[in-house]
Structure 1
Amino acid sequence: MNLFDLRNPFVALIVLGSLIILIYSSWGIYAVSERSRELNQFEQYRAHWRSLNLRDYAYIIEEGCMSGSITSATVTGGEHNFVKYENQLFGGSSTIDDLFDVAEEAIKESHKLELRFNKDFGFPEKMRADWSKDIIDDECFFEVTEFKLNEL
């Protein structure tokens, strides 16, 4: 009796099981390396944003999880002033640094993520995150528009 005879159902089962384990291991290694690459790129954007040390700028942010808000933010001398346009029960005080924190968490923990950074200043400009593939309506988003430097 040959131990490696593929006509033997037990040997065939062991070979197939080993192949499945190998495939899933490779997929897991790819997923971990992809997240690592995304985090590395994310840190480069955050470092660029911080290096600019902007203290006077304005932006509008639309953000939400199941419900949304639109807020205008003006930063003068590093101090934020927020004006809520819609849905005053949710959001309304997210800073650019807060958006970096949300984006970092989404890179690490979300099931599905769309993330875009501003090419000039490096801040997260748009994000859509689905936190769990098994839960309906757990998606969150933000989009920064009308970002401009304030003229003194």
Structure 2
Amino acid sequence: MKIYNLHSIQKLPISLDEAWDFLTNPRNLEMLTPSDMNFKVFAGADRPMYAGQLLQYTVTPLPGFNTKWVSEITALKEKEYFIDEQRFGPYAFWHHKHFIKEIPGGVSMEDSVDYKLPLGILGRVAHPILVKSKLDSIFEYRQEQLLKMFGPYVAPKKEDKSISKHDILN
């Protein structure tokens, strides 16, 4: 059994509250997913995110292949992390951890997805050709969209506390 991992980190120049409110709103997934994937949430997004929540969507991961996907929010710690797991959909296993933490000048968003493909050896053969490249492009798209929405993160400059010759002489 081969389990794959996708990992990404992105820094955003927004407050922890703003990041949490945006990222835990399932409706925002639509704008963070490439339009050719026809991603639509059709059930479960009518309340703020909570552990046990089921979200249902349709998606076209590959041209001509439409599928329904059901995810459950299995864990959530306000303004720190949430985890979604596929209950029904295209993967044999999908476990997606979202971590959010405050950093100087904004927030750091970290995603870690562990997933397994169906179809045994066929899934393993398809992984580098179709699946990994598609997932990488989806996460790149998401990062681009967040950059457009919130702007680039710029780390605050540290104060220079060094002592100059002038300070010593005076």
State the TM-score, normalizing by the size of structure 1. 0.26
- The structure with the largest strand share of the pair is 2
Relative contact order (alpha carbons < 8 A, sep ≥ 6): 1 or 2 greater? Answer: 2
TM-score (norm 2): 0.24
Tell me which protein shows more helix as a share of its residues: 1
- Which structure has the larger Rg over C-alpha atoms? 1
